[in-house]
Every structure is written in C-alpha cells, then in structure tokens.
C-alpha cells in the first residue's frame, strides 16, 4: 500500500457553481490503475465522485479522462506511471468537451459527427440477394483491422488542437471510421462517403500527430492521410485544402523549395478572382515591408534526390 493523493476536478452542472479542485488521500497499491484508485475513493471516501466506466479492460471506451494533462483510458493507466513528485495524480475531464459532473462530459458533438458519416455498411445489393454473408478477402480485411479496433473512447478527439479552435472539424475518430467504410470492398458509397467527409473539413487536419496517441492503436492520423489520398484519387480537388496540398508538393518537386507566391495563388485558386482580391491587401502589406518571396525560384542542388521521394509516394491525380 502507498499514500496517494487524487487531485480531482469537481463540478456539477446542475448546481450552477464554479468548478473547484479537491484532494482525496488514499492508501492504495500504486501498481493499480487510475480507474481502480477512483473506484476506491468513490467507495471508501466520497460517493459523490463521478466518472464513467464499464469494462475496466480497455474495451468499452467509457473511462477516457485527462490524467496529469494527457488524455487516456483510466483503466489502462497504471498509477505508478503518472505519480507526480508529491505523490499526487491530477485528474480532469477530457478537454474539448463540456463537463456535466466531475469527469463526465457531454459527448453529443462527438457522436453527432460520427453518426453523420453513416457508420454502417451500404452495399449495392440487398441481403436477400445473398445465400450467405458477404465476405471480405483476408487481403482487404488487413486494411480494416486496425480501425475496427476503435472503442469510441474520444481520446483522440480530446487531444486534437484543431477541434479546440474549430469545433466544426469532424475530428480524428469520425474520419478514421469513415475510412473504415470507404475501404470496405462490400460498400457501394465510396465517392459519397469521401465527398461527405471532405465537406466535414477533412482538410483542416494540421497533421500534428497528437491523435496518434490512441489507446487502441487505430492511428487515426494515418487513416486521415489515407482518406485524403482517396479524395485526390477520386478527383475531389476543387477546394482550398486539396489545392494547397497539391501546389505545395508541385513546387517542392520542381525546385526542392516552397514557392510561396505560387502556393498562395494555387491555394486560393488561379481563377478565383474574388478570393485573390481578398488576399491582395495582405500581399500589398507584405510588399511594403519588403517581405515578398522571390518570384522565380531556382532548383536546389541535388533536386533529383527530392524528386525520387515524390516518385515513390505521390498519388496520381484523377
């Protein structure tokens, strides 16, 4: 047994009172999980401490919370991996969500974005046309296995900095789950799904990799890259996000450097006169400060070596 302090966020939406912190001291084995410690504190010290949990084994996805500033599953986090110097563990609700009571948050925005993507199979034919279940080849199944492990814990959503500044972003889990059906060989709505997820701000992802810290190793960031690739393959490139990605890669492939003038015009759209007029004052201000990037860029030495990377990784544009 060890002396441990749980430094808890306490709040109850129903009372209208401001959030406060409460320190709860317990004698508890530090080899146990943070969830076990919370369960013990609730049972033995204060029955009003509130949190979600069910399986206690990283399966149900309900115990995600912020532990010492990093979001993760409390049932998968050993206390001794997070104990601070003063033998305390700070526990808060997931960021990017409104709290209801203590560590319990309103999950509606997360579920709304998920259900908008129609997270179920939409095949071209009816079940009754088949004598037995539709099958997926082992090769095709390999692409889906990782994302099928998602337990909808919302850890990735809580970690995403884009959600914190633009809550309309679909978020990593929803995009990963859209990918799960986009790549399913039994599904007949690939284009519609890619178009929908593109509308849901797929291209807002800033590729910060924060969501790669997924307790079930779904790696939603990699699924976002795959979904972007698919949208380019399907020719869905007439929007600022894909235009930006394509013009950045074009200029780097040409010269080994970013041609900023070309990138700005290419992202807004060469024939988008309204958009170009809108950014003109910025261009003029930059010119006044002597900050205009060079109009002609010459290739860097060994640019061929850079081009071989593109040859290996580039997606053919439809």
Task: Round to whole Å and give the CA distance between 263 and 280.
Answer: 14
- Among the listed residues 163, 164, 146, 145, the one whose alpha carbon sits nearest the alpha carbon of residue 215: 146
Contacts 24+ apart (CB under 8 A), 245-253: 245/203, 246/317, 249/310, 249/314, 251/297, 252/306, 252/310, 253/306, 253/307, 253/310
Q: Rounded CA gap, 58 and 68, in Å?
A: 19
Smaller CB separation from ligand FES, 62 or 66: 62
Nearer to ligand SF4, 67 or 224 (CB): 224
In terms of CB distance, is 150 or 236 closer to ligand SF4? 150
Q: Which two tokens stand for residue 60?
A: 């149900």
Contact in structure between 95 and 164 (CB atoms under 8 Å): yes
Q: CA 284 to CA 289: how far, in whole Å?
A: 9
* Stretch binding ligand FES (CB under 6 A), from 57-65, 78-86, 282-290, 299-307: 57-65
Residue 54 interacting entry, from ligand SF4, ligand FES, none, C-beta within 5 to 8 Å by type = ligand FES
220 binds, among ligand SF4, ligand FES, none (CB under 5 to 8 A by kind): ligand SF4
81 binds ligand FES (CB under 6 A): no
Out of ligand FES, ligand SF4, none, what residue 81 binds, judged by CB under 5 to 8 A for its kind, is none
Residues in contact with ligand SF4 by CB under 6 A are: 150-156, 159-162, 172-173, 176, 205-211, 214, 216, 218, 220-221, 224
Dihedral Cα 302, 307, 309, 314, nearest 10 deg: 170
Stretch near ligand FES under the rule CB under 6 A, chosen from 58-66, 93-101, 126-134, 278-286: 58-66
61 binds ligand FES (CB under 6 A): yes
Q: Which residues bind ligand FES (CB under 6 A)?
A: 53-56, 58-63, 73, 75
């Amino acid at each position: 047994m060890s002396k441990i302090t749980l430094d808890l966020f306490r709040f109850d939406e129903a009372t209208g009172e401001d959030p406060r912190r409460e320190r709860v001291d317990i004698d508890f084995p530090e080899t146990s999980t943070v969830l076990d410690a919370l369960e013990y504190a609730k049972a033995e010290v204060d029955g009003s401490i509130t949190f979600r949990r069910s399986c206690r084994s990283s399966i149900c996805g309900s115990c995600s919370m912020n532990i010492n500033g990093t979001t993760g599953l409390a049932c998968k986090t050993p206390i001794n991996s997070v104990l601070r110097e003063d033998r305390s563990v700070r526990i808060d609700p997931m960021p990017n969500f409104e709290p209801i009571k203590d560590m319990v948050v309103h999950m509606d925005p997360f579920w709304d974005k998920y259900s908008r993507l129609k997270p179920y199979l939409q095949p071209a034919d009816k079940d009754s046309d088949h004598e037995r279940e539709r099958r997926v080849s082992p090769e095709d199944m390999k692409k889906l296995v990782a994302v099928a492990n998602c337990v909808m814990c919302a850890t990735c959503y809580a970690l995403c900095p884009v959600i914190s500044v633009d809550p309309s972003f679909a978020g990593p889990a929803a995009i990963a789950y859209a990918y799960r059906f986009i790549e399913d060989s039994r599904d007949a709505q690939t284009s519609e799904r890619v178009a929908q997820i593109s509308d849901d701000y797929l291209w807002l992802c800033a590729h910060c990799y924060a969501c790669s810290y997924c307790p079930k190793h779904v790696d939603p960031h990699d699924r976002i890259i795959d979904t972007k690739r698919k949208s380019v393959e399907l020719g869905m490139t007439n929007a600022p996000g894909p235009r930006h990605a394509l013009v950045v890669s074009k200029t780097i492939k040409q010269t080994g450097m970013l041609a900023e003038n070309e990138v700005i015009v290419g992202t807004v759209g060469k024939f988008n006169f309204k958009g170009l007029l809108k950014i003109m004052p910025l261009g003029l201000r930059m010119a006044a400060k002597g900050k205009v990037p060079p109009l002609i860029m010459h290739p860097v030495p060994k640019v061929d070596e850079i081009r071989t990377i593109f040859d290996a990784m580039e997606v053919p544009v439809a």
